[in-house]
Amino acid sequence: MHTTAAYLEWVPFRAAPGVTADELLAAADRLHHEFLAVQPGFLRRSLLRDDSGGFVDCVVWRSAADHAAAMEASRTHPVAHAFFACLADPDAVGAAMQHFAIVRDWA
């Protein structure tokens, strides 16, 4: 156990109508490798799926400032736009997004 100041982004979403799971996963892979993994302060990412077909993108950043900088950069990045196009109602995704300070982490 250790104490950390990392910042977790929790983003629940559903795939857009007509987007297959394989297409969504391919777009998520590209987003990870071509955008998120090269952003300053990026620590790790998990993509979760529930039994109803909903997803949660769980991204951990070194700080809230690193997260904010990446969010700003995503506004003009074509790979981010391609991923967002796979989501059902991207505006609702933004409203559902939550952020947490990680106060304890057990690995």
- Helix-, strand-, coil-residue percentages of the chain, each rounded to 5: 40, 30, 35
8 Å CB contact between 55 and 86: no
Class of domain 7-101: alpha beta
Reported confidence tier of residue 90, pLDDT bands at 50, 70, 90 = confident
pLDDT tens track for 21-78: 999 999 999 999 999 999 999 999 999 999 999 999 999 999 999 999 999 999 999 9
> Regarding beta strands 7-13 and 55-61, do their DSSP bridges make them parallel or antiparallel, or are they unpaired?
antiparallel
Q: What is the pLDDT of residue 46?
A: 97
- Give residues with Cβ within 8 angstroms of 37, minimum separation 6: none
pTM: 0.89
DSSP conformation class of 88: S
Report d(CA 42, CA 75) in Å as an integer. Answer: 17
Residue 2 has pLDDT above 60, yes or no: no
DSSP states of 45-62: EEEEE-TTS-EEEEEEES
Residue ranges of the domains in the chain? 7-101
